[in-house]
Structure 1
Amino acid sequence: MVSDWGYDKLEAYFLLTQCGRVRLGNMVDPKYSLGASISKSIIAKR
């Protein structure tokens, strides 16, 4: 979001905490992986 859409790190963090989606990918001890996403329609409203 910072390099592609021009957000600063704090703006991107706040937007993702409010509008983002998180999916659990793998849950194999001791490693976990998550994927984070946000709709482009939300980013474009900036």
Structure 2
Amino acid sequence: MRNAALTLGVIAGMIGLIVGFSAMAIRSSSMSLAKWAMPCPRSITRN
């Protein structure tokens, strides 16, 4: 039973790490996209 609890804890920790990293990546990428798109939409339409 101790091994099962240990593996469950490891799996839960890995899932938490993946969720945290994906949330941080989505937040930072959306913020950088907003920063890149907001200042000058004229250059985007010109290209």
TM-score using structure 1 length = 0.27
Normalised TM-score (structure 2): 0.26
Larger helix percent: 2
Higher relative contact order (CA 8 A, sep 6+): 1
More strand by share: 1
